[in-house]
Amino acid sequence: MAHFSGHLITDVGAGAVLGAHSLRYDLKVVFQYGFVQSQILGEGHLDEKPFLYYDSEKGRAEPWGPWAEAHLGTETCDTETKDLTERGMELKMTLADIMPLTDQQKGLYSLQETLGCKIQEDKSARGFWHFFFDGERFLSYHPETQKWMVLRSTVQTLAVEIKKIWDADRDKSNSYSPRVQGETCGKLQKYLKSWMSFKEQIVPPAVNVTYTESVEGITLMCWASGFYPSEISLTWLPDGEPLSQDSQDYRCGLPYENGTSETCVSIRVPKGKEQRYSCHVEHDGKHTTYPVTIEHEQLQDPGQLEKVTADNNGIMQLGSQSLLSAPECVSSARGA
């Protein structure tokens, strides 16, 4: 393989999109009950937004979200599937090599590989390559020295032993240039044009205001769904004045499979006072107010927002990152 030297700076060309951007792939395998498990799970993130999901048991990398569904064709998904499958198999073999150096009495271990590329403001590109053991980053590739670095962790002794093996394996170190700096940075450059065009698209929220009555009083719920981007502000206005943040109950839902989001905010008010309230929604700089209408509707259980369904493909922990995590709930009080 070609040997890469220097500072890993690659000109991305005059046609590249200005600003900092990143592409990251996370892969994870598990050792349990004396065996490396067959399943390999992975995700791709573009500008920290998930766009690709991989499950070796399905045998296919699947687009995730509206941009990926619209722009990742069959050929691209075939390429991503091939790359993730090959890297996943290598990761399983690496874990199998590591396990004899550990206390296998514990019974459950995980190994995660994270590799990717960042394009800086000056349009230079730089790859990165890290390994996590049981959620701790313990080895990283240092491009300037073309060596593996041992990071401070609770498995530092293990990392030292693995580094010795990897430093002696020139194929592993030499694969940085074609695999990380070449393939991954190349994919980032390829994806950026359509990605930036998509990011300019706005999907406004569908807003529903509900009213339910109980012995404790009246519960008002303002529910926004199906919007993109995920940043949004909801707040209740009694007589046109915003309530404080701590007097409102905010709930954030998991993103839909198509990449849009949902969120809601509720309050409890005295009976007879409900029509004094309206819900103020701010999304992408647009402000809209929705009054309370007295229509007794069955209020959906807010707890359903936090339920992870089978359609979300499960939740897995990759290093310090949680896959399929819910979008950050933007406080209405901060946006008001």
CA distance 136 to 39: 21
| Cis-peptide, bond into residue 229, ω within 30° of zero | yes
% residues pLDDT > 90 (the chain):
37
pLDDT of 321 over the 60 cut: no
pLDDT of 335 over the 50 cut: no
pLDDT of 76 over the 50 cut: yes
Number of neighbouring beta carbons within 10 Å of residue 11: 10
pLDDT of residue 303: 46
pLDDT of residue 325: 32
> pLDDT grade, residue 132 (50/70/90)?
very high
pLDDT of 234 over the 90 cut: yes
> pLDDT grade, residue 191 (50/70/90)?
very high
How much is the average pLDDT of 181-210?
86
What CATH number should be reported for the domain whose range is 10-199?
A: 3.30.500.10
The arrangement of secondary structure in 206-301+329-335, i.e. its CATH architecture, is: Sandwich (2.60)
pLDDT of 9 over the 70 cut: no
CA distance 26 to 173: 19
> pLDDT grade, residue 149 (50/70/90)?
very high
285-301 residues labelled b (16+ CB within 10 A) or e (exposed):
eeeeebebeeeeeebee
| Cis-peptide, bond into residue 327, ω within 30° of zero | no
% residues pLDDT > 70 (the chain):
76
Q: Which residue has the higher pLDDT, 33 or 75?
A: 75
pLDDT of 252 over the 80 cut: no
Q: Which residue has the higher pLDDT, 256 or 249?
A: 249
- Report the first-to-last Cα separation within the chain, whole angstroms: 56
Lowest-pLDDT range of 22-36, 90-104, 144-158, 277-291: 90-104
Three-point CA angle 140, 113, 107, nearest 5°: 110
Q: Which residue has the higher pLDDT, 327 or 174?
A: 174
HSE, CB side, 13 Å, CA atoms: give it for residue 329: 20
pLDDT of 258 over the 70 cut: no
pLDDT of residue 176: 66
How much is the average pLDDT of 230-252?
90
Number of neighbouring beta carbons within 10 Å of residue 116: 22
**Residue type at 127?**
G
> pLDDT grade, residue 328 (50/70/90)?
very low
Q: Where are the beta strands (DSSP E) in 84-198?
A: 108-119, 124-133, 136-142, 147-150
How much is the average pLDDT of 19-34?
88
> pLDDT grade, residue 45 (50/70/90)?
very high
- The distance from CA 60 to its chain's CA centroid, rounded to whole angstroms, is 19
27-54 residues labelled b (16+ CB within 10 A) or e (exposed):
bbbbbeeeebeeebbbbbbbbebbbbbb
Q: Where are the beta strands (DSSP E) in 160-285?
A: 206-214, 217-227, 233-238, 249-252, 261-269, 277-283
CA distance 59 to 57: 5
- Is 52 strand, coil or helix? strand
pLDDT of 329 over the 60 cut: no
pLDDT of residue 295: 55
CA distance 248 to 238: 12
Interacting residues of 64 by C-beta distance below 8 A, sequence separation 6+: 43, 50, 51, 52, 53, 257, 259
Mean pLDDT, rounded, of the chain: 78
pLDDT of 330 over the 90 cut: no
pLDDT of residue 219: 93
Domain ranges of the chain: 10-199, 206-301+329-335
Number of neighbouring beta carbons within 10 Å of residue 240: 10
pLDDT of residue 311: 37
**Residue type at 321?**
Q
